[in-house]
């Protein structure tokens, strides 16, 4: 009965919300009845016994799967992620974890948390959570076991390089606040740079606090870095905008088929920063949702400049509807529109357009308050397009295998006197090369796998001789890239990644960000523009007038 109720609720939510027209209501009733009857017939007439809950889940996922990627069925794990977003905190010990090969590994402890105070280090290998061996767990299950009610305890057993045996920590869980601002400081006199990771509940307050601590009166320019910020809560995006845009402005409008999801959102506070403070926002293809709202509204109102790469293109609004104590459906209920009237959402969001009666598609041209052309239907296009130089083959391969962080950890544990400020090229390039040799690291072209398959086929067929052996050896050698020469051609970016990890081991995420600033061409371009005396003319905007777009 419980699963039938869940299916009924899901069907109602997915097929309709407060249906208004008679014809539509009748169409919905017929489709709902067919769905419930199909569930009944399958459960009572199938040749084998069916798990009713599993059948219900499959039915719901079948419905959501035909729609956009954000309309989904949520179970306990996903509900936790939504709670984390909306509450901005969770019960835990404050460690970021990941899988290195098949080993559960500490990425980093968060500052001033139980794990940080206990002395956890990046690269520590967690082998047991309480009495459970972690080799039996995936990362989701391990995360669930480490988190828990504040005040409760969890025991973590770890192994650490250069430390014999096991280390056991009994940690009391605390309420961990999500820290969304890993870096906030002046990078030039008067120019504040803030890196914002997300838009969870406390994000805007964290930004406001950091700006206040820096002394808002002394800020002449703000560079807000939203690169790889995948978004979060709309109200936090509005609060961020209200830091430099005046109140009583309609910043965002949501439009949905159901009128209760169609709303206009106004800024309602006096801004923290004056209208003479110059604004630059950095975005890339990883900037989505709330990040795009902040960038798009700023662009539409000509309040600042947008630099980087075109953003992701997520302009859909979701609402969560509970099905039971442990499950819910998250449904796209409306779309975001920003002041120029454009839609941020990219066109290909819907998986099966045939199930929609009216599908919106096609890019259109809109205009900012100052008359500049901007396009809809594909994210936010920056005013200044900057494409970062991609990492080369060697650096990309080393990054994918997490070799920079592994080397940094092993080297610094063996050399605790290192401060993170030494000349990286002089001290570490050769030791890093020797370390790669010890690892047996080679870099191979994609054709090598095909060569090895062909060699195996020859061997299996008994057709090998000295000539074929020599020929295959030469082919494999040709397909193996010369690491030493690549270390020369990719030296600059390689040293950047290496120095960033070495600094990050000592100073956490802030130091890691600092280590990359000197080679961040997007940040450099923003700084150059924001310091330029002809800032307003260069970006083609005019001074902001609060009377517009109300």
Say which of 16, 143, 287, 289 is annotated catalytic. Answer: 289
Q: Would you say how long the chain is, in residues?
A: 550
Distance, in Å, from the CA atom of 324 to the CA atom of 73, rounded to the nearest integer, reads: 12
Q: Are 445 and 479 in contact (CB under 8 A)?
A: yes
Residues whose CB is less than 8 angstroms from the CB of residue 99 and which lie 6 or more positions away in sequence, other chains included: 105, 139
The yes-or-no answer on residue 314 being catalytic is yes
Residues whose CB is less than 8 angstroms from the CB of residue 222 and which lie 6 or more positions away in sequence, other chains included: 191, 192, 194, 211, 244, 273, 277, 278, 279, 280
Structure tokens at 185: 């400081």
Q: Are 157 and 144 in contact (CB under 8 A)?
A: no
50, 93, 132, 195, 294 from 136: Cα distances, Å: 28, 21, 8, 37, 42
Q: Which residues pair with 95 in a beta bridge?
A: 109
Surface-to-core class of residue 435, CB atoms within 10 Å of its CB (0-12 exposed, 13-18 middle, 19+ buried): middle
Give first-to-last CA distance, the chain, whole Å: 51
The yes-or-no answer on residue 300 being catalytic is yes
Of 308, 305, 244, residue with least CA distance to 282: 308
Distance, in Å, from the CA atom of 418 to the CA atom of 403, rounded to the nearest integer, reads: 19
Residue for token digits 């926002």?
281
Q: Are 499 and 424 in contact (CB under 8 A)?
A: yes
Structure tokens at 287: 């900037």
Report CA dihedral (474, 478, 479, 480) to the nearest 10 degrees: 100
Surface-to-core class of residue 482, CB atoms within 10 Å of its CB (0-12 exposed, 13-18 middle, 19+ buried): exposed
Residue for token digits 């960000």?
513
SS3 221: strand
Surface-to-core class of residue 147, CB atoms within 10 Å of its CB (0-12 exposed, 13-18 middle, 19+ buried): middle
Distance, in Å, from the CA atom of 339 to the CA atom of 367, rounded to the nearest integer, reads: 9
Distance, in Å, from the CA atom of 408 to the CA atom of 419, rounded to the nearest integer, reads: 12
Q: Are 307 and 281 in contact (CB under 8 A)?
A: yes
Say which of 57, 195, 201, 314 is annotated catalytic. Answer: 314
SS3 489: helix
Q: Would you put residue 513 in left (φ > 0), alpha (ψ -120 to 50) or beta?
A: alpha
Surface-to-core class of residue 471, CB atoms within 10 Å of its CB (0-12 exposed, 13-18 middle, 19+ buried): middle
Report CA 155 to chain centroid distance, whole Å.
Answer: 29
Structure tokens at 377: 């239907």
Say which of 68, 225, 300, 302 is annotated catalytic. Answer: 300
Residues whose CB is less than 8 angstroms from the CB of residue 236 and which lie 6 or more positions away in sequence, other chains included: 199, 200, 201, 203, 204, 290
As a three-state string, the secondary structure of 472-485 is: HHHHHHHCEECHHH
Catalytic residues, by residue number, are 289, 300, 314
């Amino acid at each position: 009965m419980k699963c039938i109720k869940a299916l009924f609720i899901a069907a109602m939510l997915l097929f309709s919300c407060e249906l208004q027209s008679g014809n539509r209501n009748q169409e919905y009733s017929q489709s709902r009845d067919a769905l419930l009857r199909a569930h009944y017939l399958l459960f009572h007439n199938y040749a084998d016994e069916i798990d009713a809950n599993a059948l219900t889940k499959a039915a719901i996922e079948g419905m959501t799967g035909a729609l956009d990627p954000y309309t989904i069925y949520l179970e306990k794990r996903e509900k936790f992620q939504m709670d984390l977003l909306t509450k901005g905190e969770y019960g835990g010990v404050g460690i970021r974890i990941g899988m290195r090969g098949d080993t559960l590994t500490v990425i980093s402890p968060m500052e001033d948390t139980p794990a940080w105070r206990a002395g956890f280090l990046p690269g520590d290998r967690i082998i047991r959570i309480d009495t459970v061996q972690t080799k039996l767990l995936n990362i989701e299950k391990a995360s669930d076991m480490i988190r828990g009610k504040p005040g409760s305890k969890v025991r973590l057993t770890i192994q650490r390089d250069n430390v014999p045996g096991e280390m056991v920590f009994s940690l009391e869980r605390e309420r961990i606040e999500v820290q969304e601002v890993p870096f906030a400081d002046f990078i030039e006199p008067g120019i504040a740079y803030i890196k914002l990771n997300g838009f969870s509940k406390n994000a805007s307050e964290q930004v406001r606090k950091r700006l206040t601590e820096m002394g808002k009166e002394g800020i002449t320019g703000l560079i807000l870095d939203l690169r790889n910020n995948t978004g979060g809560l709309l109200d936090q995006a509005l609060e961020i905008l209200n830091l430099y845009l005046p109140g009583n402005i309609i910043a965002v409008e949501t439009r949905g088929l159901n009128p209760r999801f169609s709303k206009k959102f106004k800024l309602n506070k006096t801004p923290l920063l004056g209208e003479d403070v110059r604004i630059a926002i950095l975005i890339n293809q990883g900037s989505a949702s709330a990040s795009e709202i902040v960038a798009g509204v700023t662009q539409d109102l000509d309040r600042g400049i947008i630099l980087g790469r075109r953003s992701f293109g997520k302009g859909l609004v979701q609402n969560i509807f509970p099905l039971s104590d442990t499950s819910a459906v998250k449904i796209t209920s409306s779309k975001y529109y920003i002041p120029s009237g454009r839609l941020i959402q990219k066109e290909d969001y819907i998986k099966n357009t045939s199930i929609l009666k009216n599908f919106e598609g096609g890019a259109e041209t809109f205009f900012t308050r100052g008359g500049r052309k901007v396009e809809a239907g594909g994210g936010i296009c920056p005013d200044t397009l900057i494409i970062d130089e991609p990492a080369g083959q060697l650096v990309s391969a080393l990054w994918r295998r997490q070799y920079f962080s592994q080397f940094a950890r092993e080297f610094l544990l063996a050399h605790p006197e290192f401060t993170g400020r030494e000349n990286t090229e002089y001290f570490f390039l050769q030791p890093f090369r020797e370390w790669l040799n010890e690892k047996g690291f080679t870099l191979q072209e994609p054709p090598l796998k095909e060569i090895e398959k062909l060699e195996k086929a020859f061997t299996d067929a008994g057709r090998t001789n000295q000539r074929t052996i020599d020929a295959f050896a030469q082919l494999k050698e040709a397909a193996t890239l010369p690491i030493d020469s690549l270390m020369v051609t990719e030296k600059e970016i390689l040293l950047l990644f290496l120095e960033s990890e070495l600094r990050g081991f000592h100073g956490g995420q802030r130091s890691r960000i600092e280590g990359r600033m000197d080679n961040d061409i997007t940040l450099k371009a923003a700084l150059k523009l924001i310091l330029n005396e002809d800032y307003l003319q260069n970006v083609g905007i005019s001074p902001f007038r609060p009377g517009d777009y109300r």
